[in-house]
Chains A and B, each alone.
Chain A
Amino acid sequence: MKKWAMIAVSTLIAWAVWGFFGTKSDESEIEKLVLTGSSTIAPLAAEIGKRFESLHRNVRVDVQTGGSSRGVSDARAGLADIGMASRALKDDEKDLLQFTVALDGISVILNKANPVEALSKQQIIDIYTGKITSWKQVGGNDAPITVVNKAEGRSTLELFLHHFGLKNTEVKPHVIIGDNQQGIKTVVGNPDAIGYVSVGTAEYEASQGAAIKLLPLEGIAASVENVRNRSFPLSRPLNLVTRSEPVGLAKDFIEFAGSPQVNDLIEAQYFVPVPR
């Protein structure tokens, strides 16, 4: 028994030590770039960072989260080389520079079998707050509406609530979902459901034959194209923020993050690349 315990302990320690010293390289030449801020952008920035590292030897890109406001304040205080903010800079933050890396849009989706073709802003608000409970009230079938909402903590939820001026406590959901795929599956499986997901995912899935349709918002079709040309109302920019005109490594990174070389990474996170 004791022997086994000793073997197990030493294996664990050896593993940690191997990880610690195994890949030791020359520290002195390594340049570090620190990004902090929005947790929505962080996974994308980390992936862009990995590709940037593979192209530039001796560069390390460290991505930390904490929210958009933190990204802005860290960039301003110089704690981070680059801040990340999943919104446009506010008026009192205009002393900073912003570089849009990608766009994020949200589309309201219905099942393809649902005859309703469009909903007004007020109708969507009434459906989500439980004032409208049947599709008949908005010109559809005589069937109860299944309201699909996002789980707490999702940036899609925040953007949706912000756009419609709702609080999460006011929403009366029947189904709560996590990611985009789950939202699409729920609406595909229920002809009377209404949900909202990232435009990029919804458009891709609809083109692959999923039984959903993307509702236009304020008369503007929900499409990646309209998110890209910024006419779609329910969208936001994903920005990198700096204190002053970026130089050196930060400049290289921002240029790289804005180049077509990272478009596949942006799309893998269900965001929309900005036109270059």
Chain B
Amino acid sequence: MTKNVLATGLIWLMAALVSGVFVWLLSDILIHGLPQLSWAFLAEAPENSGRSGGIGPIIVSTLLILLVAMVTAAPLGLATAVLLSEFTRYDSIFGRLVRRSLDVLAGVPSIVFGLFGNAFFCIYLGLGFSILSGGLTLACMVLPILIRTAEEGLQAAPNDYRLAAAALGMPRSAALVHLLLPSAAPALLAGLMLGVGRAMAETAALIFTSGYVDRLPNSLLDSGRALSVHIYDLSMNVAGGDANAYSSALVLILLLFIINTIAMSLAKQWLYRRVVSI
């Protein structure tokens, strides 16, 4: 009996510890970051190396980098996941090879992606330090997560769907579009969100690809500083930049939160319309 109480207490303690860390982190950022946060901070350009002024151009650059990364990675990832899950046998040599290489890729440190992106996109393809280089590097980085989660989502769809579709004489593509993808939508979205989260948090891969320039970008071929790079620079490199680093961190968290909420509600809608209402 005492053993039980002890175990329960220990588990509660662990859970409290985990949420405690989260609350501490969030309140620290809120306490230090909220005072400087204003509409002007969100819209203005940084001044005096970011000690004053805002982060307007940096938010624009961050969203553009994210857009490039997701527009590139999502179709590629989805197609690969569909191929792996629906059009190859699970234990085929090809499937195993692809899966193994994806797992290895998922564990590669981001600085390696940064150096690869710099060597391949910036120098070899001649894109230079640009939002395009940064976005494409991030796309390479999030592909493994996207593919594995999408594949798992598709495999979780009941086999009855596939059999019923075949029995009705539906083409496989139609079954995919009308049944399997909608039922895997929550998993697809979750993968996408994991990818967005990893991409938004990325510093090491971006400092060598999308660069350090804090001007409003004129085109995708311009260098643009991402929020995480800005936070890193303010806290580690610019004396007296800590206050604005906190505010930028707060903006980053809020952005992630907003994107997450929107994506989740969209997924719910889509799932409801496609599967339940038929």
Question: Which residues from chain A sit less than 8 Å from chain B, CB to CB?
Answer: 1-2, 4-5, 8-9, 12, 15-16, 19-20, 23-25, 27, 34, 39-40, 42-44, 46-47, 60, 62-66, 79, 151, 153-154, 178-181, 198, 201, 268-270
> In the complex the two chains form, is A42's CB within 8 Å of B237's CB?
yes
Interfacial residues of chain B within 60-89, with CB under 8 A of chain A in the complex:
60, 63-64, 67
Question: Which residues from chain B sit less than 8 Å from chain A, CB to CB?
Answer: 48-50, 56-57, 59-60, 63-64, 67, 123, 129, 207-208, 211-220, 223, 233, 235-242, 258-259, 262, 265-266, 269
Given A19-B60, A178-B235, A198-B239: A46 and B208 within 8 A (CB)?
A: no
Residues of the A chain whose Cβ atoms lie less than 8 Å from the Cβ of B207: 65-66
> In the complex the two chains form, is B266's CB within 8 Å of A5's CB?
yes
A109 and B225 CA atoms in complex are apart in Å by: 36
Given A8-B258, A9-B262: A23 and B216 within 8 A (CB)?
A: yes
19 residue pairs A–B, Cβ–Cβ below 8 Å: A2-B266, A2-B269, A8-B262, A9-B266, A12-B258, A16-B60, A16-B63, A19-B217, A20-B64, A44-B49, A65-B233, A66-B207, A66-B208, A151-B236, A153-B237, A154-B236, A178-B242, A180-B240, A269-B49
Residues of the B chain whose Cβ atoms lie less than 8 Å from the Cβ of A180: 239-240
Given A178-B235, A179-B242, A180-B239: A19 and B57 within 8 A (CB)?
A: yes
The chain B residue with its CB closest to the CB of A2 is: B269
Which interface residue of B212, B214, B262 has the most chain A CB atoms within 10 A?
B212
> In the complex the two chains form, is B48's CB within 8 Å of A47's CB?
yes
A23 and B56 CA atoms in complex are apart in Å by: 13
B269 CB to nearest A CB, Å: 5
> In the complex the two chains form, is A43's CB within 8 Å of B67's CB?
no
> In the complex the two chains form, is A1's CB within 8 Å of B67's CB?
no
Residues of the B chain whose Cβ atoms lie less than 8 Å from the Cβ of A4: 265
The chain B residue with its CB closest to the CB of A152 is: B236
Beyond A15-B59, A23-B218, A42-B237, 10 extra complex contacts between A and B, CB < 8 Å: A1-B265, A12-B259, A19-B217, A20-B64, A39-B237, A60-B215, A63-B212, A64-B223, A178-B242, A179-B241
A180 and B237 CA atoms in complex are apart in Å by: 11
Residues of the A chain whose Cβ atoms lie less than 8 Å from the Cβ of B59: 15
A156 CB to nearest B CB, Å: 9
> In the complex the two chains form, is B265's CB within 8 Å of A2's CB?
yes
> In the complex the two chains form, is A16's CB within 8 Å of B64's CB?
yes
> In the complex the two chains form, is B218's CB within 8 Å of A46's CB?
no
> In the complex the two chains form, is A62's CB within 8 Å of B60's CB?
no
The chain B residue with its CB closest to the CB of A1 is: B265
Residues of the B chain whose Cβ atoms lie less than 8 Å from the Cβ of A268: 48-49
